[in-house]
Homo-oligomer: A and B are copies of this chain.
Amino acid sequence: MDLLMLSNDAVLAEEWRAELARLDPPIRLRLPGDDRQGDVVAALVDGPVDGRLADWRDIRLVIGLNAGVEDLLGDPTLPSIPLLRMVCPETVALMKEYVCHYVIRARGRFEGLEAAQRAGRWEAGPGFPPPAAFRVAVMGLGELVLPTAQSLRDLGYCVSGWSRTLKTVPGIACYRGRKELESMLATTDVLICMLPLTPATRGLICADLLAKLPRNASFINVGRGGCVVEADLLAGLDQDRLSHATLDVFEREPPPSDSPLWAHPRVTMTPHVAATPDTAACAKRVARVLSAVLQGEDVRGLVDRAQGY
């Protein structure tokens, strides 16, 4: 069983080749320059296809290496076969860990304690408000978002969720539509964007929307950079309306070297890694998917092209 990989990153391809060879049974990695003989079931791609699948007619599935597929869907040479986003249990677990980490940081419970240590002071103080007093709102409630929102709820935070279609999730206040979004934001201490990039979400988080948040709210973006107007976000931080932004995704990636985000005292930047498992975990996921495809089983996580994610 062979897998075609389309990537301009030779180091990454080499890593994949090694991990796939380690599986039982092993999977052989093919590259576009290789001969077209043999049983190539699927293509693994980390960006647009750019016509490179034209000669590989046996391929039954395209697997996008990232959770977001907007680049792929914008590519007219993408064949009309099922398209899968790389969302596996490991992706979900890494996303949960990332978001929980930065939500806990946004509560501000630990920074003061650690500053006291550095100053040699024992400052137990009067105790800290419980997590239930901290209002966390997520935008998006899909495959990757729902378990993250549930983790936040299980840690005791007061969690709200906003999505395109109204969801019902025990212990999470669910909202939909523009008007409900605004009322959700008015009672939010930390807003987390987990939206895909679609025509409906591009630039959605702009000055107008950020102004609905209470003063000193903070913001986390693990969705797509294009959902946020970065200039508006920066203005909110600089004008003391927002206390902090944690950004894993950006309008341009990497952001230009003269972007004020890099050195902003109220910005934490990470390089689009919130939900990126190591290649070993991804290779195991691909093996499970290929096995399901070959046995004619349903594959979970297929992209709905009409919705764009």
Interface residues of chain A, those whose CB is within 8 Å of chain B, are: 12, 15, 89-90, 93-94, 96-97, 100-101, 104, 107, 109-110, 113-114, 116-117, 120, 122-132, 151, 154-156, 253-255, 257, 262-263, 268-273, 276-282
Contact = CB atoms under 8 A, between A and B. Distances in A.
B273 A90 contact: no
Contacts of A90: 130, 132
Contacts of A257: 120
A93 B130 contact: yes
B155 A270 contact: no
B123 A276 contact: no
Given A130-B281, A271-B123, A155 B254 contact: no
A276 B127 contact: yes
A73 B204 CA distance: 59
Given A93-B155, A94-B130, A113-B271, 7 more contacts: A96-B155, A97-B104, A124-B271, A126-B278, A126-B279, A128-B273, A154-B154
B279 A12 contact: no
25 contacts: A89-B156, A90-B130, A90-B132, A93-B155, A94-B130, A96-B131, A97-B107, A97-B109, A100-B104, A101-B109, A114-B268, A114-B270, A117-B269, A117-B270, A120-B257, A120-B262, A120-B263, A124-B272, A127-B273, A127-B279, A130-B277, A130-B278, A151-B154, A151-B155, A154-B154
